[in-house]
A and B are shown apart, each in its own frame.
Chain A
Amino acid sequence: MAAEIKAPALRALPSVPPALAPDSMVESKPYVAAEKINEAIGFPGKLDDDWQVVHDKAIAHMGTLLKRYRSLKVYLDACVHCGACTDKCHYFLGTGDPKNMPVARQDLMRSVYRRYFTLPGKLVPKLVGARDLTRDVLDEWYTYYHQCSECRRCSVYCPYGIDTAEITMAGREILDAVGYGQKYSNEIIGKVHRVGNNLGLPGPALLNTLEGLEEDTKEETGVDVRFPLDQKGAEVLLVTPSADFFAEPHVESLIGYAKVFHAAGVSWTMSSHASEAGNFGLFIGNYEQLRTIALRIREAALELGVKRIVVGECGHAWRIAYSFWNTLAGIGQGAKDPFAVQLQSQLDLSYRQPMHICEFTWDLIQRGALTLDKDANDHRIVTFHDSCNVARASRMGDAPGGQFEIPRAIIRATANHYHEMMPGTTHEATFCCGGGGGVLTDEVLDLRVKGALPRMEALQQVVSDHGVNFMATICAICKAQFSKVLPYYGFKMGMVGGVHQLVSTAIRLGAKS
């Protein structure tokens, strides 16, 4: 890795795609997981010394995935190399490395798929761009399937809806199956199984942290706002990313949620068993991990006897909660296994299950149940960064697009100064922060800084035009990533914060009973 990481220069918008810079990012790869880390979550510890064994295992696993996932099979077949996706990936726009063009990233696997699973690839490999799986190819997969944040922006523009995230997940799943896992994601998955959250924060430490927050909030507001943990019989179970417990600016949003629950008079609790909304099983594309981690939420809900499940500000967690929890753990309607049936009889299905904290807060605002002083946020000139998993892989509210409208409605209800970033960089066309999908680790900081370029350019525009000084977002990874990379572009790291940070500032407690 380069000794000094520098941000690329910001260009005026709309900018043109960069010139191709082949292999410019070939050195940027995350640490490989140690044997113990892989084995702890049921994967082979390391690559077999005999390449043939690795090769056969990888191809066999690819065959399994092709039978399990229609997305993989159809997407590997359907691409016509039209090029519509080539200038859509933030990592390509920031680095110019052609293998970061979505189609080229897919072709790293498509070439192998053609060689082993299609007739023309077996007969005339050269003609159709098919190639054998070699150690070099596997290394290339490791490098470039960890330069994708699974943000799905390319899938918006593909005429067949090909989602590179599905290919990336399959690539990482195959790498895990042969003992070539990524340290960052696999270590965190181990922690969530062992301790209950991604940060490895044990129950007593969590309790201590929450008590500290109660004191701080009392000092700030003079009101006894509770941060309950493991409270049986509470109405709401809040599941939030563990960064919310102490990382800045995340914790400001947690304080915001607590104030909202307090003002609404709704009893709530967090759970030490399920003290994490994040689920890195998604990043490595492993269904079993995804499911086991999701089941913790159901177990906690059953144990605590809650009637509602609400999810805090976290992008991929909301995708999993909204799109997958019903499938994985029966949180929603229609599951038939005994535990899910028990859960359904317990949950109040007159509410959306699960519910996003923004849906929860917006419902209260619409009912006039919260007293909000917009002027309290007058020192902030706000813009909103749509997080990829919320924008392109989930919904809020009853109508398509609610995931865009509801957070913005909350911002407008809590702040006087709001400006949108340029169309084509927000809503379904939003750019990833550059740190999503399991690359939020410092050994790939170079990639993270460059991948943030398109967002930074759009931000610079509203900073110049409107004096924007606060970029609100509803994702723990976005918040952590921006806190780290904003300074590289000459912005203050404190510019990023949560939507509920704005709520926290504006809300007046005790004004209504």
Chain B
Amino acid sequence: MSAVTFAFAVLFYFAAAVCAAGLVVRIADYARTPAPLKIPTTPAPTTGGGVALRMVREVVFFESLFKGNLWTWGLGWLFHASLALVLLRHLRYFTEPVWAWVAFIQPFGMYAAFTMAIGLAGLWARRFLVDRVRYISTTSDHLMLALLLAIALSGLSMKFLFPTDIVGVKAFFLGLMLFDWQPLPASGALYLHLALVAALMIIFPFSKLLHAPGLFFSPSRNQVDNPREARHLAPWAARFEER
């Protein structure tokens, strides 16, 4: 086994561990921290089912962002929907035999890489062109977009510029999952793509990418509007009652 294969194997075990453990810790932290007061942004659903529906509209359609800014919504939704398709398409490198629906979306996933890059470029352009967004952008905001765009472009380059031995790539990842390591095909574009993805996985639980789990814990979105009917009391606030 080559040193490169070894390095990438270790890198991916490490990245997966950091990403998973980091997210578990963060999510447990969110779940354990109480929301002492009822603060849904109203009008809000009055039932649990209604809240679930509100959450679906936020997660799938970005409802609030749609109300907020059409450009950001359009570009953001294009990017996220494309990313979802691309990720699902990549399941083919981790499953044997490939699931039928994954095979079905394969061609769409290829186009999605382009629309993902377009969405990212548009979002990045906003950080330069809109003075209000330029004002609030930090270095890490730019770097995050650069990272995601580089992942998309390096991925595309393997399809259109530097054909890569994807059968070998698949063998490598199946091997990683089964702890039966296989050699990683030699390809600069592949090395770059994989290194960037590993970096993204490592950064995820420490960065603003926490917006993904965060949304589910946002009290203004996930609370039921029923304060008159049901009492809502946080454990630390309940202690005042005992005095």
Of A78, A158, A330, A395, the contact of B43 (CB 8 Å cutoff): A395
**Is there an interface contact between B232 and A326, defined as CB atoms closer than 8 Å?**
yes
B198 to chain A, nearest CB (A): 17
**Is there an interface contact between B136 and A104, defined as CB atoms closer than 8 Å?**
yes
**Is there an interface contact between B35 and A101, defined as CB atoms closer than 8 Å?**
no
Q: Which residues of B contact A399 (CB under 8 A)?
A: 46
Judged by a CB distance under 8 angstroms, whether A133 is at the interface is no
- Where chain A touches its partner, the secondary structure class is loop
Work out how many contacts link A and B, with CB atoms closer than 8 A: 227
Complex CA–CA separation, A371 to B135 (angstroms): 57
Complex CA–CA separation, A395 to B37 (angstroms): 15
CB closest chain-A residue, reference B242: A337
**Is there an interface contact between B136 and A86, defined as CB atoms closer than 8 Å?**
yes
Judged by a CB distance under 8 angstroms, whether B2 is at the interface is no
Q: Which residues of A contact B135 (CB under 8 A)?
A: 20, 98, 101, 104
Most buried by B among A73, A159, A323, A332: A159
Judged by a CB distance under 8 angstroms, whether A333 is at the interface is yes
**Is there an interface contact between B229 and A332, defined as CB atoms closer than 8 Å?**
yes
**Is there an interface contact between A335 and B231, defined as CB atoms closer than 8 Å?**
yes
Given known pairs A120-B207, A159-B58, the reply for A73 and B132 (CB within 8 Å) is no
Given known pairs A84-B65, A391-B42, A394-B42, the reply for A333 and B132 (CB within 8 Å) is no
B29 to chain A, nearest CB (A): 7
Residue total for B at the interface (Cβ-Cβ under 8 A) = 64
- List which B98-131 residues lie within 8 A (CB) of chain A: 126, 130-131
Q: Which of B157-165, B168-176, B220-228 lies at the binding interface?
A: B220-228
Q: Which of B8-16, B137-145, B186-194 lies at the binding interface?
A: B137-145
For chain A, the bracket of interface size reads 35 or more
Complex CA–CA separation, A399 to B43 (angstroms): 9
B88 to chain A, nearest CB (A): 22
Judged by a CB distance under 8 angstroms, whether A135 is at the interface is no
Complex CA–CA separation, A79 to B141 (angstroms): 11
**Is there an interface contact between A101 and B132, defined as CB atoms closer than 8 Å?**
yes
Q: Which residues of A contact B5 (CB under 8 A)?
A: none
Of A74, A77, A86, A291, the contact of B132 (CB 8 Å cutoff): A86
- List which B190-243 residues lie within 8 A (CB) of chain A: 206-208, 210-211, 214-215, 217-221, 225, 227-234, 236-237, 240-241
A156 to chain B, nearest CB (A): 6
CB closest chain-A residue, reference B63: A159
**Is there an interface contact between A70 and B217, defined as CB atoms closer than 8 Å?**
yes
Judged by a CB distance under 8 angstroms, whether B39 is at the interface is yes
**Is there an interface contact between A78 and B208, defined as CB atoms closer than 8 Å?**
yes
Q: Which residues of A contact B58 (CB under 8 A)?
A: 159, 161
Judged by a CB distance under 8 angstroms, whether A367 is at the interface is no
Judged by a CB distance under 8 angstroms, whether A85 is at the interface is yes
Q: Which residues of A contact B130 (CB under 8 A)?
A: 83
**Is there an interface contact between B41 and A129, defined as CB atoms closer than 8 Å?**
no
Task: Write the B57-94 contact mask toward A (1 if CB under 8 angstroms, else 0).
Answer: 01000101101110011001000000000000000000
Q: Which residues of A contact B206 (CB under 8 A)?
A: 118-120
Q: Which residues of A contact B208 (CB under 8 A)?
A: 77-81
CB closest chain-A residue, reference B141: A81
Complex CA–CA separation, A80 to B144 (angstroms): 10
CB closest chain-A residue, reference B222: A161
Judged by a CB distance under 8 angstroms, whether B52 is at the interface is no
**Is there an interface contact between A81 and B225, defined as CB atoms closer than 8 Å?**
no
Judged by a CB distance under 8 angstroms, whether A428 is at the interface is yes
Given known pairs A78-B211, A83-B69, the reply for A400 and B225 (CB within 8 Å) is yes
Judged by a CB distance under 8 angstroms, whether A342 is at the interface is no
Given known pairs A74-B218, A428-B42, the reply for A20 and B35 (CB within 8 Å) is no
**Is there an interface contact between B211 and A334, defined as CB atoms closer than 8 Å?**
no
A340 to chain B, nearest CB (A): 8
Q: Which residues of A contact B41 (CB under 8 A)?
A: 152, 155-156, 161, 163, 392-393, 428
**Is there an interface contact between B236 and A68, defined as CB atoms closer than 8 Å?**
yes
Q: Which residues of B contact A235 (CB under 8 A)?
A: none
CB closest chain-B residue, reference A354: B228
Complex CA–CA separation, A323 to B64 (angstroms): 22
Q: Which residues of A contact B140 (CB under 8 A)?
A: 120, 127-129
Given known pairs A159-B62, A323-B227, A400-B45, the reply for A71 and B143 (CB within 8 Å) is no
- List which A368-424 residues lie within 8 A (CB) of chain B: 391-395, 398-401, 403-404
Other contacts beyond A127-B140, A400-B46: 17, CB < 8 A:
A17-B132, A20-B131, A20-B135, A82-B69, A84-B68, A84-B73, A103-B136, A107-B136, A128-B140, A156-B41, A161-B41, A163-B41, A166-B39, A322-B228, A332-B227, A333-B231, A393-B41
19 A-B residue contacts at CB 8 Å?
Answer: A67-B33, A68-B34, A69-B33, A70-B34, A71-B219, A78-B210, A78-B211, A79-B211, A84-B64, A120-B206, A129-B140, A157-B68, A161-B58, A161-B64, A287-B237, A326-B230, A392-B42, A400-B46, A401-B43
